[in-house]
Amino acid sequence: MPRDDGIGAAVRRKEDFRFITGRGSYTDDLNRPGQAFAAFLRSPHAHARVDSINVSPAMAVEGVVAVYTGQDLADAGVNGLPCGWQVHSKNGEPMAEPAHPALAQGKVRHVGDAVAVVIAESRTAARAGAEALEVAYTPLPAIPNMKSAKGAVATVHDDVTNNQCYDWELGDEAEIDAALAASAHQVTLSLVNNRLVPNPMEPRVAIGDFDHASGEHTLYTTSQNPHVIRLLMGAFVLGLPEHKLRVVAPDVGGGFGSKIFHYAEEAVVTWAAAKLRRPVKWTSDRSEAFMTDAHGRDHETTVTLGLDADGKFNALKVITDANMGAYLSTFAPCVPTYLYATLLAGQYTTPKIYAGVRAWFTNTVPVDAYRGAGRPEATYVVERIVEEAARQIGVDPAELRKRNFIAPDAFPYPTPVALEYDSGNYAGTLDKAMAAVDYANFKSRQAASKAAGKLRGIGFSAYIEACGIAPSAVVGSLGARAGLYESGAVRVHPTGSVTFYTGTHSHGQGHETTFAQVIAERLGVPIDNVDVVHGDTNKIQFGMGTYGSRSLAVGGSALAKALDKVEAKAKKIAAHLMEASADDVEFKDGQFTVAGTDKSVGFGDVALTAYVPHNFPHDELEPGLEEQAFYDPANFTFPAGCHICEVEIDPDTGRTEIVNFVAADDFGNIVNPMIVEGQVHGGIAQGVGQALLEGCLYDGDGQLMTGSYMDYCMPRADDLPNFKVETQVTPCPHNPLGVKGCGEAGAIAAPAAVMNAVTDALRSAGVSKPIDMPATPSKIWSALNGA
């Protein structure tokens, strides 16, 4: 009988008791003795010269301890924030990589850019001090969007005269142009992938601490990857060696990518704590989060698909402009290139693909990875153009996809855009989704809606993603300045309970449960006897953190390897106890047995023997039972599937209601189906948010127009239908658990499904010109009324 807490069981999340009883420990819950508080003065201008900063009025505010400006940091030898990925332009030149000072030096480049920090005895005093600072600005012409960046009416950075970060390409443009020209059909779309504000529930917090006696610096921070922060901040910004810098990311309330990056505030509080010899705490408020957390997406794309007379895809050409914002955030350059263009084959056999990507600096908040990071943008391009092609050439969109799918027996499948897909069954998930949505009867539902004065539409999104990020050698060759393996250590305690130390980081994903289930399955111990530890560089040997749906595929593989080692050693101990040869020992359900005998010893007894080694093979083994493993993946994993959305539009108001949403996903093997379903729900909610509700807007002066929830529309429960979520299992062939990753699928798949459905509904009313996300009621009403 399978365990009720092992692999495949829908175990309730172990961590939730702590969270729902208010016992989580988030960074803002931490307070260090003698702590002071930091407040940042932020630029009200999108672009301005900072002529002078008069700190005396701030110093005069009661409770203010210190004020630091960019000059103070420069004088102290504090460097700017590094970028973790270097992209080269097609002419071979490295990307433009302008300085990114932690506090402005001479110029501010977006609304919210930090000008100075005030440290005081209380938050209130720090804010009062920041308000008292006198800064003389000379406003400069702002570059609020990519169109004005291209016009180069002004330059965001003096040393980047055309505002361009890079002009990158993948593929042979002339060859693809020729293939397109030779195609029977050419279909073109212009698409905007709207800028999003990540909005994790918990805003960012950073506490710097310094132990003068030991010389150890500690940063408590809301991070998805504390070791990466230690590396970036320690080695590049502050010049602190790893053994004197501890980074702790305790319970973290969501990140969606925005907490991957190294932010200025982290460096400033760590530096100031050492300078002042007292802890310094900064807590972002929601308004600050809107103008300082790295934003997501913000692409403008023109895509052309060439098809032959039978509807086979001949060639795809994609030209994309990507907004980097004012500075390069940590991983920004790779998002519109290696995480985007490499996915443009989608689930199809398109033989020729070209992608040209230009990245631009603008006077806006930096843009970086956000749930899906590049892959949602790729899926959006591919699935919108495929559906558009189907409609234009008059082939059913499901049928057109099936004609072009990579066949299940064609794996491993090298795409023309540098990836090798490991496994998949795309017709399988399409069929599942079509059955779940009852595609066969869509036309009659559409007719019923029409009779009721509503417009009904249906849209597909057959997505693929590259997850399990990533093989270090591959990403290294593509410009990553880090490796992307993972580490894990299994510590078996003397009585057989287990602590697992993982370099991944859980900020909502449920690792404490999922990893415990893997251990329970392997070692035969109940999951209540397993704890998972993460988020502290002093406890975990090393780790690259959590993003790119990598935790189980990479971190779980490190766990599996560590468990192999534990099992191998435990078998030897068991063999000694049973006076058998280790080769004859079998391990199952927590019991070691010797084949063909009735000898048996339990896992707990073996653990105890390892720590109380009275009767122990000392000549062969060391005491103790603890093993560590690093795992560097052989390839990406390729979760894929099909989402179908059905909408009903009220033509009188333009309001869209999602009346049906189904997802059929292939995530490989599944450890906890309930957690997976939750991840899919959350992802779809974010995808629907992008498609219908969310959009970050700047006005012509670079002022943020959507700086609060009054104007920035987050998806709410009543915006969403009940999802029908199904899975298909095509195991990953190259990692030990056969898992692929599920964290981003919903956000990757949903926008195209929703927008294809909206487009279909509009088309039923004779509107063929597509609209861009978010498809708000006002946009739809305008489209229906010819505006």
Partner 1 sequence: MYNFNYQTASSADDAAAKVSASDEGKLLAGGMTLLPTMKQRLAMPSDLVDLSKAGLSGISVAGNVVSIGAMTTHDTVANSKEVASAIPALAKLASGIGDPAVRNRGTIGGSIANNDPAADYPAAVLGLGATIVTNKRSIAGDDFFTGMFDTALEDGEVITRVDFQVPETASYIKFPNPASRYAIVGVFVAKTAGGVRVAVTGASPCVFRASEMEAALTANFSAGALENSSVSANGLNADIHASAEYRAHLVGVMAKRAVAACS
Question: Alpha-carbon distance 190 to 38, whole Å?
Answer: 45
CB of 86 to partner 1, least distance (A): 37
Minimum gap (Å) between residue 132 Cβ and partner 1: 13
Contact assessment for residue 196 and residue 370, using Cβ atoms and an 8 Å cutoff: yes
Q: How far is the CB of 24 from partner 1 (least distance, A)?
A: 21
Phi-psi region of 757 (alpha: psi -120 to 50; beta: other; left: phi over 0): alpha
Residue whose CB is less far from partner 1, 25 or 124 = 124
Whether residue 90 contacts residue 169, with contact meaning beta carbons closer than 8 Å, is answered with: yes
Between 44 and 624, whose beta carbon lies closer to partner 1? 44
Q: Minimum Å distance from CB 775 to partner 1?
A: 11
Q: How far is the CB of 716 from partner 1 (least distance, A)?
A: 9
Task: State the minimum distance, in angstroms, from the CB of residue 62 to partner 1.
Answer: 12
Which segment (403-411, 532-540, 563-571, 776-784) binds partner 1 by CB under 8 A? Answer: 776-784
What is the nearest approach in angstroms of partner 1 to the Cβ of residue 131? 8
Site string for partner 1, 481-520 (x = CB under 8 A): ----------------------------------------
Among 39, 268, 419, 693, binds partner 1 (CB under 8 A): 693
Only one of the segments 109-117, 303-311, 623-631, 775-783 lies at the binding site for partner 1 (rule: CB under 8 A); that segment is 775-783
Strand 134-139 and strand 107-108: the pairing is unpaired
Query: Which of 25, 190, 444, 778: binder of partner 1 (CB under 8 A)?
Result: 778
Comparison of 200 and 556: residue with beta carbon closer to partner 1: 200
Instruction: Please give the size of the binding site for partner 1, defined by CB under 8 A.
Output: 26
Minimum separation from the CB atom of position 709 to partner 1 (A): 6
Read off the tokens for 721: 């239908």
Report the C-alpha gap between 690 and 370 in whole angstroms: 12
Cα–Cα distance between 38 and 281 in angstroms, integer? Answer: 6
Spatial separation of the C-alpha atoms in residues 728 and 507, rounded to whole Å: 26
Task: Work out how close the CB of 704 gets to partner 1 at its nearest, in angstroms, rounded to a whole number.
Answer: 11
Least Cβ distance, residue 124 to partner 1 (angstroms): 8
Between the CA of residue 775 and those of 194, 663, 688, 711, 758, what are the distances in Å?
11, 21, 10, 15, 8
Nearest to 604 by CA among 591, 616, 614: 591
Instruction: Pick the closer one to partner 1 by CB: 181 or 714.
Output: 714
User: Which ranges in 107-237 belong to alpha helices (H)?
Assistant: 123-132, 146-151, 173-181, 226-229
Give the residue with the Cβ less far from partner 1, 263 or 712. Answer: 712
Helix, strand, or coil (residue 200): coil
CB nearer to partner 1: give 61 or 671. 61
Structure tokens at 621: 């083994």
How far apart (Å, rounded) are the C-alpha atoms in residues 80 and 301?
32
Q: Which of residues 703-742 bind partner 1 (CB under 8 A)?
A: 705-706, 709-714, 719
Residue of 638, 419, 666 whose CA lies nearest to 549: 638
Closest separation between CB of residue 708 and partner 1, Å?
Answer: 9
Nearest-approach distance from CB 32 to partner 1, in angstroms: 24
Specify the residue, 17 or 709, whose C-beta has the smaller distance to partner 1.
Answer: 709
- For partner 1, the closer CB: 221 or 449: 449
Nearer to partner 1, 283 or 314 (CB): 283
Q: Which is nearer to partner 1, 706 or 764 (CB)?
A: 706
User: Judged by CB, which is closer to partner 1: 25, or 782?
Assistant: 782
Determine, following the binding rule CB under 8 A, whether residue 547 of this chain makes contact with partner 1: no
> Taking contact as CB under 8 A, which single stretch among the options 10-18, 597-605, 702-710, 720-728 is the one that binds partner 1?
702-710
Q: Are 455 and 757 in contact (CB under 8 A)?
A: no
Decide whether 62 or 75 has the Cβ nearer to partner 1: 62
Q: Please state the closest distance from residue 176 (CB atom) to partner 1, in A.
A: 38
Neighbouring-strand partners of residue 536: 248
Site for partner 1 in 101-130 (CB under 8 A): 124, 127
- State the Cα–Cα distance between residues 479 and 733, nearest whole angstrom: 27
- The dihedral through the CA atoms of 549, 554, 558, 560 has a sign that is positive
Instruction: Please state the three-class secondary structure of 565-630 as a single string.
Output: HHHHHHHHHHHHHCCCCHHHEEEECCEEEECCCCCEEEHHHHHHHHHCCCCCCCCCCCCCCEEEEE
Q: Can you tell me which residue has the tokens 């050419």?
A: 186
Site track for partner 1 across 244-283, x = CB under 8 A: ----------------------------------------
Alpha-carbon distance of 266 to 208, in angstroms, equals 7
Which amino acid, 265?
A: E
698 binds partner 1 (CB under 8 A): no
The angle formed by the CA atoms of residues 574, 576 and 577, to the nearest 5 degrees, is 65
> Does residue 62 interact with partner 1 by CB under 8 A?
no
Residue 292: which of 105, 103, 136, 512 has the closest Cα?
A: 103
Q: Residues near 409 by Cβ (< 8 Å), separated by ≥ 6?
A: none
Partners of residue 660 on adjacent β-strands: 646
CB of 456 to partner 1, least distance (A): 20
Among 395, 697, 729, 765, binds partner 1 (CB under 8 A): 697
User: Which lies closer to partner 1 via its Cβ, residue 418 or residue 767?
Assistant: 767
Cβ proximity to partner 1, 731 vs 777, nearer residue: 777
Per the omega criterion (within 30 degrees of 0), is the bond before 397 cis? Answer: no
Confirm or reject binding of residue 25 to partner 1 (CB under 8 A). Answer: no
CB atoms within 10 A of CB 499: 17
Specify the stretch interacting with partner 1 by CB under 8 A; choose among 76-84, 91-99, 362-370, 770-778. 770-778
Contacts of partner 1 in 119-178 (CB under 8 A):
124, 127, 131
Contact 552, 738 (CB under 8 A): no
Closer residue to partner 1 (CB): 87 or 757: 757
Contact between 781 and partner 1 (CB under 8 A)?
A: yes
User: Whose CA is closest to 509, among 355, 658, 672?
Assistant: 672
Q: Is 287 in the site for partner 1 (CB under 8 A)?
A: yes
Q: What are the φ/ψ torsions at residue 658 (nearest 5 degrees)?
A: -85, 115
Q: 746 and 680 in contact (C-beta within 8 Å)? A: yes
- Measured from the CB of residue 650, what is the shortest distance to partner 1 in angstroms? 9
Query: How many helices (H) does the chain have, and how many strands (E)?
Result: 20, 28
Tokens of 539: 């406890």
Which residue among 56, 138, 541, 782 contacts partner 1 (CB under 8 A)? 782
Choice between 161 and 653, CB closer to partner 1: 653
Taking alpha carbons only, the member of 354, 442, 444, 449 closest to residue 398 is 442
Amino acid at 431: D
In the complex, the smallest distance separating the C-beta of residue 204 from partner 1, rounded to whole angstroms, is 18
Burial grade of 769 (CB within 10 A; 0-12, 13-18, 19 or more): exposed
- What would the two tokens of residue 494 be? 């003397």
Residue window 637-656: x/- pattern of binding to partner 1, with contact defined by CB under 8 A: ---------------xxxx-
Residues that bind partner 1 (CB under 8 A): 124, 127, 131, 287, 652-655, 693, 697, 705-706, 709-714, 719, 776-778, 781-782, 785, 787
